Amino acid sequence: MDEAYRNYHTHTARCRHAVDADEVYVLTAIACGYDTLGFSDHSPWPYSVSSDCRMSLDELEDYIRSVRGLQSRYRGRIRILTGLECEYYPKYYDWLRSVRDRFRLDYLILGNHYLREDEDNCYFAYARSGDQLKVYADMAVEGMRSGLFAYLAHPDVALASYPQFDGAAEQMSRIICQAAKEMDFPLEYNLQGRLYQDLNRYDGLTYPCGDFWRIAGAFGCKAIVGVDAHAAASLRRTDRIDEGRRILSAYGCRPVDSIRSASEN
Ligand SMILES: [Zn+2]
Ligand SMILES: [Zn+2]
């Protein structure tokens, strides 16, 4: 592949379930032919529940300072962007806007993992009922409509443990894909989910889910491949980026590799 690779979905060890120093991600991306690396670690939230799946509020400034430092250190070799992956927690969206503006973040992505503001609640990758899929889809679409986000990460994550592609799964997929098409809003083909397929982490439809992407293709949705790197080594699997783009094209999706910046939202 002659074109450079781009990835806007990169975590850091601050989220407590990723590894490697920030700079190792950058060096790996340069070595593997990326021209753009966007950091989008799991956003902290201004509520009191402590978390093992995202940075704490007092780590936010260090995260931004570190990514900005790498941006200047490697300028001319790779474009580094500063972002966050955010839940659908609308009651904190004024706060999120203020963070975005105060730190002049380049972009935000929507990753709808949890029902309500506490990760002890339903984690959508373990959804097993049609009702949960409907809730997931409605939340995702409301988040997409907020105007805060550049794209929807792993739109099919709620199918991970869901047993079969039945009417509820189809309805969830159609709700999300129809809204994405109407808003010209990119959906992400998620390579961390692809890695979980290798590891047999989920026992349901898993994600990326072919039946979801068939529907996205039928709607002609825009789609972006996201590495969702939780280790620098994940960036080395550029073959998976090529594979994702091939699959998306075969389904009729429109693969894109650029995103709207926060200032355009
Ligand atoms: Zn995510
Ligand atoms: Zn992620």
d(CA 135, CA 103): 32
Q: How far is the CA of 27 from the centre of ligand 1 (A)?
A: 23
CA angle 164, 170, 173 (to 5 degrees): 115
Q: Which two tokens stand for residue 205?
A: 């439809």
Ligand nearest to the CA of 9: 2
Smallest CA-to-CA distance from 155 within 134, 129, 170, 176 is with: 176
Q: Which amino acid does the sequence have at 180?
A: A
For residue 102, the model assigns a pLDDT of 97
Over pLDDT 70: what percentage of the chain?
A: 96
**Protein residues within 5 Å, CB atom, of ion ligand 1:** 111, 153
Smallest CA-to-CA distance from 111 within 165, 66, 68, 148 is with: 148
CA angle 231, 5, 105 (to 5 degrees): 70
Do 12 and 44 touch, CB atoms closer than 8 A? Answer: no
Which parts of the chain have pLDDT scores under 70? 1-2, 48-49, 118-120, 265
What would you report as the CA-atom Rg of the chain, rounded to the nearest whole angstrom?
17
For residue 3, the model assigns a pLDDT of 81
CA angle 47, 50, 51 (to 5 degrees): 110
Ligand nearest to the CA of 40: 2
Q: How far is the CA of 251 from the centre of ligand 1 (A)?
A: 23
For residue 1, the model assigns a pLDDT of 44
d(CA 177, CA 133): 14
Q: Which CATH class is domain 5-264?
A: alpha beta
Beta bridge partners of 107: 83
Q: How far is the CA of 160 from the centre of ligand 2 (A)?
A: 15
| C-alpha separations of 235 from 24, 187, 205, 238 in Å | 10, 20, 25, 7
Q: How far is the CA of 111 from the centre of ligand 1 (A)?
A: 5
d(CA 108, CA 129): 29
Q: How far is the CA of 105 from the centre of ligand 2 (A)?
A: 17
For residue 119, the model assigns a pLDDT of 66
Q: How far is the CA of 192 from the centre of ligand 2 (A)?
A: 8
d(CA 177, CA 70): 36
Q: How far is the CA of 8 from the centre of ligand 2 (A)?
A: 10
